[in-house]
Amino acid sequence: MIRRIMGEVDVKLGIRQTLAKIDDAFGKRSQTINAPKPLLVAVSKTKPIELILDGYSIGQRDFGENYVQELIEKANDPRILEHCKDIRWHFIGHLQTNKINKIVNLPNLHMIQTVHNAKLAEGLNKAWEKTKAEKPEKQHLNVLIQINTSGEDEKNGTQPAEAVNLYRFVTEKCPNLKCHGVMTIGRFGHDYSTGPNPDFIELMKCHQDICSTFERDPAELQVSMGMSDDFVQAIEMGSTIVRVGSSIFGARAKKNEA
């Protein structure tokens, strides 16, 4: 099965094509947008280790996973540990508080992008206090606050009106966390012939509110939005992190978290 998947998917080509599109979209972005060139997070959920190794071999370092158990298995895989020493794992799925301790000790955990409420932030802060005692070189856990810009019940994230308050809680009450910015998943399938994506507009407004309230340089506060079907439009609106999966690794089957 793995050989068949690898034969059908050219991960190296997918990454190169995606990076080229990022460069092109970044070059076309309005100069009024004060934001750095976007980072590509290759979303490898449900995909075999071999495809991650393939992507890593051409310089891709940031990979995203949605499921706790799958990330645990991949981060601890002997092949990853041996051949991908500089890999940076981004957790981009829903994190339940009872699984915090399972994830904070993982090797090469770089960022939790889905801190959606104060309870989760507090739990991560306490867990990282214990973790950093064993890893003094990692004083802070990098996080983004997740905002439910679409208002869908099935989507996690704080409400846009609470974005400033959650950012304040993380930065003032969670000294072991370093909040790098905001993130949204948004509603799927927006018709761009009708105009800009309202979820992107909403997230950029939250970004602006946080920057204004806390006197932050907009260029220093990350914006994670945009996936395979809309990352170009997201970049044009100011995204600094794009999460691209199927365009790189091919279509994936749905998987339920154990």
pLDDT digits (tens, 9 = 90+) for 94-141: 999 999 999 999 999 999 999 999 999 999 999 999 887 777 667 899
- Res 253 pLDDT > 70: no
Mean pLDDT of 161-167: 98
Environment class of residue 12 by beta-carbon count within 10 Å: exposed (0-12), middle (13-18) or buried (19+)? middle
Considering the domain delimited by 11-27+36-244, tell me its CATH architecture. Answer: Alpha-Beta Barrel (3.20)
- Residue 176, token pair as written in the block: 């072991």
Q: What is the pLDDT of residue 74?
A: 98
Q: Would you list the domain boundaries of the chain? A: 11-27+36-244
Sort residue 210 into left (φ over 0), alpha (ψ -120 to 50) or beta: alpha
Which pLDDT tens digit goes with each residue over 186-225? 888 899 889 899 999 999 999 999 999 999 999 999 999 9
pLDDT at 252: 63
Mean of pLDDT values over 147-165? 95
CA atoms within 13 A on the CB side of 250: 15
Interval 23-44: pLDDT, tens: 999 999 999 998 999 999 999 9
Name residues whose C-beta falls within 8 Å of residue 80's C-beta, 6 or more positions apart in sequence.
49, 52, 53, 74, 87
